[in-house]
A = this chain, B = another copy of it.
């Protein structure tokens, strides 16, 4: 089952990559982009047919490995 995990920096944490992108966009003429935050995105292929099981496993994996709780938060989605 395909599962997706989004990892983003917590709002309080400064995101140097996002800032650099906003600056670059500004100089390219995209001033309408007020803010950018960069995160990570994972597609997991989980060996199960149960949506519930896939979600639980992905959540555990995100919690233990994919995200660092000091700076990041995460969200899990299971593909229907």
Q: Which residues of A contact B (CB under 8 A)?
A: 6-8, 18, 21, 24-25, 28, 30-48, 57, 60-61, 64-66
Contact = CB atoms under 8 A, between A and B. Distances in A.
B6 A34 contact: no
Contacts of A65: 21, 24-25, 28
Contact of A40 (B32, B40, B43): B40
Copies in the complex: 2
A61 B22 CA distance: 11
A69 B3 CA distance: 24
Top 5 nearest A-B pairs (CB, nearest first) are A41-B41, A35-B45, A39-B41, A32-B47, A34-B45
Contacts of A45: 33-36
